[in-house]
Amino acid sequence: MLSHLPILQVVVPLLAAPACLLLDRSRLVWIFTVLACGLSLLISMLLLYQVSQHGTLSYDLGGWDAPWGIEYRIDLLSAYVMLVVSGIATLVIVAAGTGLEREIPLEKQTVFYVTYLLCLAGLLGIVATGDIFNVFVFLEISSLATYALIAYGRDRRALWAAYQYLIVGTIGATFILIGIGFLYSLTGTLNMQDLAARIPDSAGSRTASTAFVFIVVGVCLKLALFPLHLWLPNAYAYAPSLVTAFLAATATKVAVYLLIRLHFSVFGEQFASSSLPLHGILLTLGLAGVFVASLVAIFQPDIKRLFAYSSIAQIGYMIIGIGFGTAIGLQATLLHLFNHALMKGALFLALAAVVYRLGSADISAFRGLGRRMPWTMAAIVIGGLSLIGMPLTVGFVSKWYLILAAIEAGMWPVALLVVTGSILAVVYVWRLVEAAYFQPPENELPEGLDGPDRREAPLTLLVPTWLLVLVNIYLGIDTRLTVGTSGAVASALLGGGQ
């Protein structure tokens, strides 16, 4: 059975979803979903172990050899991303046991869990596959599920946000489809390995360059790279809090993964940098993203929206890392990819706890919260520190490598700008800290809530949050695992790309 792990990773949540619908008893469905997510987490751990021991795994679906059938290909990078995705998915779904009841009516919960599992399966499928058209199919599974999940938000603006995301996402997917078509017309294959072997034959071909541009733009729409980010803040702000926690920590990360995979494993660094001034474009857009989004974040009254803008800024950092075009830059990107998933997972889960108790994530709701919900607020503070890049948190590690990469590339201004960006993060995190610890609580109660509700969040929400917070701190101190893996992956991607 161990040799089938690559496919089981995706098929377990994929088939658990329709099975869930058959159960149709919301408590039972929840337990079942937790089991499915936990199983998929277990599988991803085993896969990571296998890959680190025996190298890249290849699995032929239907028993057909690679270019004819669809191949699943798990290397260190995909195993790591799958671990992050299924880990976050499991924690969020555990928290959903109690956290969901105030956000989604009971009769819709079964369908919600089904959609959630489908979204997870789609994301995992994108990461596991070695076939470029299969990427498109699973991208659409996860996207459709995401639109539906966002629309569960109670505010009517959630619907509008989901619609906008749907339009942008579909345009992105269609761009990717066009790119795949151009590639196919040149090479006659859809397998990534096969493509990588055949693209150099048509180096300098305008068709290949066009394919590259369309695929990159399509993926960038999905990962909300500035200035293609407009769909993200509303989607994150109005989706149910737990959905935001899941999406913020996984969906954009998978999109970044896809960018890295297509850029380095399919086209190869040489092709990508020779056909376009890509590095300059990525650096500029990344930096612009960091500054614009951080500045906007400072003025957001809604904290979910604030952290959504902060996500766009953090994606900017990841893109800067790719923009250097060096191994250490890519390593910084990978580190930040993992670390940001941990930070934002913790932050949005903590926010979900606040929304659970107070029914709002407005800055005014946070007044005096330091005393009323000490554990939740402490989690938010540590997550915020990590976002800023304080030493002893994971955020420091990735920022440090990003600055190292800038210095190594001789780009002092970029290093300085990265530091300045962190100062902006200090400002928006401080606003929150000030409200929570230095302002008296509001006297009048928010409507619809009575006294007993204004206390610490239930344990089922706190435990997953704090698990993530502890991982944040642990990996900030003991950096061997993340730095070692990302270093190995980065050099493999740059060296083995040809």
Partner 1 sequence: MLLLLAITALAIAWLRDLFAAVMLAGIYGLLSASFFVSVDAVDVAFTEAAVGAGIFPLLMLAALALVGRNEQTAYRRPLISLLLVSITGAALVLGTLDMPAFGSADAPPHNHVAVRYIEESPKEIGIPNMVTSVLADYRSFDTLGEVVVVFTAAMGVLGLLFTGRAASPGSATERANMYDHRVLRVVSKMLIPLILLFALYVQFHGEYGPGGGFQAGVIFAAGIILYAMLFGFGNAQRVVRPALLQILAACGVLIYGSVGVVCLLSGGNFLDYSQLLPDPLVGRHVGILVIELGVGITVASAMILIFYAFASATVNSEEVA
Partner 2 sequence: MLPELYNYWVVILLMMTGFYIVIVQGNLIKKLIGLNLFQTSVFIFYISLGKVSGGSAPIFAEGVSSYSNPLPHVLILTAIVVGIATTALALALVIRIRNAYGTVEEEELQQRDLEC
Q: Which residues of this chain interact with partner 2, rule CB under 8 A?
A: 133, 136-137, 140, 144, 147-148, 151, 156-157, 159-160, 162-163, 166-167, 170-171, 174, 177-178, 181, 184-185, 190
CB of 156 vs partner 2, minimal distance in Å: 4
Between CA 269 and CA 271 the distance in angstroms is 6
- Of residues 318-337, which lie at the interface with partner 1 (CB under 8 A)? none
Question: Between 68 and 412, whose beta carbon lies closer to partner 1?
Answer: 68
Between CA 478 and CA 484 the distance in angstroms is 11
Residue 187's identity, in one-letter code, is T
Any idea which residue has 């639109």 for tokens? 147
Q: With CB cut-offs between 5 and 8 Å by kind, which of partner 1, partner 2, none does residue 224 bind?
A: none
* Residue 491: Cβ-neighbour burial (10 angstroms; 0-12, 13-18, 19+): middle
Supply φ then ψ for residue 325, to 5 degrees: 70, 15
**Residue 25: other Cβ atoms inside 10 A:** 11
Q: Is 178 in the site for partner 1 (CB under 8 A)?
A: yes
**Residue 48: other Cβ atoms inside 10 A:** 18
Please, which residues bridge with residue 129 across strands?
A: 72
* Residue 62: Cβ-neighbour burial (10 angstroms; 0-12, 13-18, 19+): exposed
Counting residues that bind partner 1 (by CB under 8 A) gives 61
Question: Between 68 and 438, whose beta carbon lies closer to partner 1?
Answer: 68
Q: Classify the phi-psi angles of 192: left when phi > 0, otherwise alpha if psi is within -120 to 50, otherwise beta.
A: alpha
Q: Is 32 in the site for partner 1 (CB under 8 A)?
A: no
List the one residue from 111, 298, 404, 426 that touches partner 1 (CB under 8 A).
111
Q: With CB cut-offs between 5 and 8 Å by kind, which of partner 2, partner 1, none does residue 63 bind?
A: partner 1
**Residue 471: other Cβ atoms inside 10 A:** 17
List the one residue from 206, 416, 434, 495 that touches partner 1 (CB under 8 A).
206
Q: With CB cut-offs between 5 and 8 Å by kind, which of partner 2, partner 1, none does residue 303 bind?
A: none
**Residue 34: other Cβ atoms inside 10 A:** 16
Q: Is 7 in the site for partner 1 (CB under 8 A)?
A: yes
Q: Is 184 in the site for partner 1 (CB under 8 A)?
A: yes
CB of 96 vs partner 1, minimal distance in Å: 15
**Window contacting partner 1 (CB under 8 A); options: 61-69, 242-250, 375-383, 427-435:** 61-69
CB of 300 vs partner 1, minimal distance in Å: 25
Angle between helices 26-54 and 5-23 (to 10 degrees): 180
Supply φ then ψ for residue 359, to 5 degrees: 75, 10
Length of the chain: 498
Q: Is 114 in the site for partner 1 (CB under 8 A)?
A: yes
Q: Is 15 in the site for partner 1 (CB under 8 A)?
A: yes
End-to-end CA distance of the chain: give it in Å, rounded. 33
Question: Between 61 and 471, whose beta carbon lies closer to partner 1?
Answer: 61
Q: With CB cut-offs between 5 and 8 Å by kind, which of partner 1, partner 2, none does residue 171 bind?
A: partner 2
Between CA 82 and CA 49 the distance in angstroms is 12
Any idea which residue has 């619609």 for tokens? 163
List the one residue from 182, 231, 238, 324 that touches partner 1 (CB under 8 A).
182
Tokens at residue 430, please?
Answer: 């401080």
Q: With CB cut-offs between 5 and 8 Å by kind, which of partner 1, partner 2, none does residue 116 bind?
A: none
Task: Name the residues that contact partner 1, by CB under 8 A.
Answer: 4, 7, 11, 14-15, 17-19, 21-22, 59-64, 67-70, 107-108, 111-112, 114-115, 118, 121-122, 125, 133-134, 137-138, 140-141, 144-145, 147-148, 151-152, 178, 182, 184-190, 202, 205-211, 213-214
